[in-house]
Structure 1
Amino acid sequence: MVNEDGGIEYKRELTNRLKREIVSFLNSQNGGIIYLGVDDKTHEGLNVSE
């Protein structure tokens, strides 16, 4: 996996902050990719609860 940058974000879980980042990506010219359930430091996949 690649490191985070202006178009890639790794998030452990769904939070209110993540919701703001989604809106930010939607409003940007290039968009972006958010990987939910991935540790942002190790890039390891995590279990995600419903």
Structure 2
Amino acid sequence: MCPGYTAVLHMHSTMKEVRLRTIICRIDKKTNQKTEIRPRFIKQDDAAVVRFE
């Protein structure tokens, strides 16, 4: 996924269409440490901090 990607976010009983605005950082799942700041994209099963609009 990269900025501009559109998805449907499900939270409890609410569904909302959102767009990925920015990827802030990628996180290592084992250590919970930031591994890459501002990556260009993220892949399936990556952990990341992102901003939606």
Both structures adopt the same fold (TM-score exceeding 0.5):
no
TM-score (norm 2): 0.28
- Higher helix residue share: 1
Q: Which has the higher contact order (CA 8 A, sep 6+)?
A: 1
Larger Rg: 2
- Higher strand residue share: 2
